[in-house]
Amino acid sequence: MFVQLTDLHGSLSDPLLDTMNFLNEVTARFPDAVSFAPGRPYDEPFDTTVIAGYLDAYAKHLERDRGLSQRQVGGLLFQYGRTKGQIHDLVAATVANDEGIEVSPESVVVTVGAQEGMLLALRALIRDSADVLLVASPCYVGITGAARLLDVPVEPVPEGPAGTDPAAVRAAAARVRASGRRPRALYVVPDFANPSGTRLPVAARRDLLAVAASEDLLVIEDNPYGLFSRTPARVPTLKALDRDRRVVYLGSFAKTCFPGARVGYVIADQPVTGPDGQPTLLADQLSKIKSMITVNTSPLAQAVIGGMLVTYGCRLRTANEERIRRYRDRLNALLDALRRHLGANPGVTWNVPEGGFFLVLSVPFVVDEAALTRSARDHRVLWTPMSYFYPGGEGRRQLRLSCSYLEVDEIDEGIRRLSSFIASEPARAT
Amino acid sequence: MFVQLTDLHGSLSDPLLDTMNFLNEVTARFPDAVSFAPGRPYDEPFDTTVIAGYLDAYAKHLERDRGLSQRQVGGLLFQYGRTKGQIHDLVAATVANDEGIEVSPESVVVTVGAQEGMLLALRALIRDSADVLLVASPCYVGITGAARLLDVPVEPVPEGPAGTDPAAVRAAAARVRASGRRPRALYVVPDFANPSGTRLPVAARRDLLAVAASEDLLVIEDNPYGLFSRTPARVPTLKALDRDRRVVYLGSFAKTCFPGARVGYVIADQPVTGPDGQPTLLADQLSKIKSMITVNTSPLAQAVIGGMLVTYGCRLRTANEERIRRYRDRLNALLDALRRHLGANPGVTWNVPEGGFFLVLSVPFVVDEAALTRSARDHRVLWTPMSYFYPGGEGRRQLRLSCSYLEVDEIDEGIRRLSSFIASEPARAT
């Protein structure tokens, strides 16, 4: 039998879910291109034998600190596990040490990456089609994609040079209310946002929480890049500033441990009151949803991450010193290369992020998929059109550059090629 | 801030998502009870050191059979991976060897257990609120729970003693059409269904496919227990009989390898035609959805399962001979114990499944949560009320017994206790 695409769920006809396919396809077609497209971590020379060491560290922790027998440890690794996860105590200790976030381990749901956390949070919080999710614009496609899957309406909040402007959040909430709907939650990446690289100043963080309180919004804070600062300045997360349990916090071990485990987490310490008056935590409600999505996060993968956390004393900031330096060097190399190769071009500008994996370059012509194909074919350099990240399709003269995956000398060569691509494109009016 | 349960998505107020919590809570309160409740596999004395061996087997396979370097192998295990999965070729070889299912590896999506596969299939196939999912009744809560999360309406198909009756499917489809909606797909577990233990005879399988064709239904076949037959008779899966690419097949390695990996798969070889005429596979559409749910199935967990498949020559039927015998012995022990302890009680009957983990016991009184609490507290025996598995709440005088997790001597003692519980309950009219 044949199935018509139009006969499937509408998300599958939405270009949003196809953008990554186009990027992957271009990358595969031009393997010798320098690629500023993927936001993935640097490919470390990881040896498979380290896995056994981490499993062993986790098993020893269970035997020593929790008094489990070898047989019980085997059961925890090989059987079905607790839906909320089994390294929740280690996760809670880690966010306390690294971010000053003090929560009960019962507030933690261990997820299949932060992506599952987004889906859990959206499904729980959005009651029906009258509920709207506010998102920074531009915005990570994982959240708009998850919203699309669940038919959740999205209201963009235009981002300023310093990230999500609290006044813009208030204005967006008012627009939603004026349309007869409820602004339910705001998704935001305050630290080195993907794609823009912006970091929200601490005063704006306090204002954002105040706006969330006055507009009765929950805040979904996603923090995959927070550790990777280019400067020594520390800025507290929204969750660390949250006195009102208004922030649902999404974390990931993909960048601080390794992506192949697919382990992330949600912190959801909001009390939920049921009709029987029995209070539960929002984490318990997320767990009920998780039981129908993935049942539990691979206990094996959790054990490996658990072993890493035990080995690092639940301090990823310390354990990641080398990685933090590596990403800082890459971002500095990208900024240097841009100054060197494009500094004399008045039509080209870029922002200077304080950390993270990304920055945004503005050019005087339209950078669509056709332009990306020309760039890859004729100049052997890849990047991501920023229009992918705007719910409204703006950003047609902007591109995202990611430096996380490249070597320093590749970055310089890549920007040299990008400069020749830019020089070859006539400035266009549309 | 406080959140009201009624202010969250409706699924969270549905008893469906709470039933498992009640079971877990009762189990925790009565740890010395013999529990026929969990459908989980037997707790094998698994040693964590075997993991390193499987990882090594998978790495050697990649180096030898795919010519990858050690560095590339490290990248495959530790980085983000292909959304559709990276052991798809091994999965395709395994279903060919074990089930005679011949499909291209491109039709395979590796998932976080079969549960994620259900969610992917439902999200893709159900276009809007006019599309209805047909499910056998009684039915596995994972599918009705996933449907509830996505607000997918469900139409029950009453099951007969030999499983899903094709004529009942036709009648259910007619009922849905009469309501102005479209019967879109049928979810079915033809082999040793959870909870009923029924197996669909081969003639009924052919009829079911014919009904699906005439009613233009897709069939979602879920097969977690097929290998665990009590008798040597082999019955082909619906997918093996499918000449029309009408069956989407869900598989799991939880029972044939181990649950803690959380690796399953979907086979979706249906061609999908888009507006541009470019054909894709349904698997590619599922992959687009997966990219917004879990991004990819843990490459580390896939590598361990991949190593097991390589080690077993992609033949799980052979590799599971010992487990098949173990589950057969347990089911036989359960049937023996029922005859011994309850055979003289004319009010109590049960079915005699040809395999799997479950059977259904009918009793002359209502077995609700209160009865379960009495059974646990006063007789130290646990089971699952069958009403949990009926979308319409029927089955109030039936309970599910699972024997997969118990030792043979525990089974006998448990049924002795069950018999004393049954004797203590007055036969009730309601």
pLDDT, tens digit, 9 for 90 and up, residues A156-210: 999 999 999 999 999 999 999 999 999 999 999 999 999 999 999 999 999 999 9
Higher pLDDT: A22 or A162? It is A162
Same-domain status, A286 and A383: no
Q: Which domain holds residue B345?
A: 5-43+321-424
Under an 8 A CB cutoff, do B48 and A59 touch?
A: yes
Q: Which residues of A touch B252 (CB under 8 A)?
A: none
pLDDT higher than threshold 90 for residue A48? no
The C-alpha atoms of residue B85 and residue B263 are separated, in whole angstroms, by: 10
Beta strands in A378-421 (DSSP E): 381-382, 384-385, 398-402
Cβ–Cβ below 8 Å for A301 and B301: yes
Q: Containing H/E element for B398?
A: strand B398-402
- For the segment A282-300, the average pLDDT, to the nearest whole number, is 96
Q: With CB atoms and an 8 Å threshold, state whether A44 touches B254.
A: no
In the predicted model, what is the mean pLDDT of residues A72-100?
94
For tokens 């705001």, name the residue.
Answer: A186
Q: Does B256 touch chain A (CB under 8 A)?
A: no
Task: Please check whether residues A220 and A314 belong to one and the same domain.
Answer: yes
Please name which of A207, A186, A189, A209 lies closest in space to residue A197, comparing C-alpha atoms: A189
Calculate the alpha carbon distances from A188 to A160, A166, A200, B219, B254 in Å.
13, 11, 10, 40, 36
B429 assigned to some structural domain: no
Mean pLDDT in residue range B285-312: 97
Structural domain ending residue among the three candidates A283, A318, A353: A318
Element (H, E) at B273: strand B271-273
Among the partner-chain residues B245, B262, B273, the one whose CB lies closest to the CB of A298 is: B262
Mean pLDDT of chain A: 95
* Percentage, residues of chain B above pLDDT 90: 87
CATH code of A368's domain: 3.90.1150.10
Same domain (yes/no): B64, B100 = yes
Q: What are the C-alpha distances in Å from A330 to residues A152, A235, A356, A404, B323?
A: 37, 21, 10, 7, 52
Q: What is the CATH number of the domain that holds B85?
A: 3.40.640.10
Structural domain includes residue A429: no
d(CA B293, CA A118): 8
Same domain, A287 and A335: no
Lowest mean pLDDT among A84-98, A101-115, B49-63, B272-286: B272-286
Structural domain ending residue among the three candidates B283, B318, B353:
B318
Chain A residues within an 8 Å CB radius of B49: 52
Of A266, A294, A318, the residue at which a domain comes to its end is: A318
Q: Does A80 contact B at CB distance below 8 Å?
A: yes
Alpha-carbon gap, residue A362 to A382, rounded angstroms: 15
Question: Same domain for A130 and A19?
Answer: no
Joined tokens for residue B361: 């016991």
Q: Which residue of B has its CA nearest to A72?
A: B45
Query: What pLDDT does B428 receive?
Result: 61
Judging contacts by C-beta atoms under 8 Å, the chain A residues touching residue B274 are: 5, 13
Contacts of A244 in chain B (CB under 8 A): 1
Whether residues B148 and B207 fall in one domain? yes
Phi/psi for B354 (5° steps) reads -80, -5
Nearest residue in chain A measured CA to CA from B217? A1
Confidence category of residue A428, pLDDT binned at 50, 70, 90 = low
Please provide residue A189's backbone torsions phi and psi, each rounded to the nearest 5 degrees: -115, 95
Contacts of B48 in chain A (CB under 8 A): 55-56, 59, 73-74, 77, 303
- Best of B216, B262, B284 to substitute, by most chain A Cβ atoms within 10 angstroms, is B262
Instruction: Mark whether A208 and A195 lie in a shared domain.
Output: yes
**Interchain proximity A288–B18, CB inside 8 Å:** yes
List the end-to-end C-alpha distance of chain A, in Å, as a whole number.
44
CA distance B194 to B187: 12
Please check whether residue A430 lies inside any domain of the structure.
no
Q: Which of A363, A369, A259 is nearest to A27 (CA)?
A: A369
Other C-beta atoms within 10 Å of A409: how many? 9
Contact status, residue B230 vs residue B248, Cβ threshold 8 Å? no
SS3 B345: coil
Q: What is the pLDDT of residues A216-264, one digit of tens each?
A: 999 999 999 999 999 998 999 999 999 999 999 999 999 999 999 999 9
CA max distance for chain B: 71
Structurally, chain B folds into a number of domains equal to 2
Please check whether residues B396 and B284 belong to one and the same domain.
no
- The pLDDT assigned to A108 comes to 98
Same domain for B217 and B294, yes or no, is yes
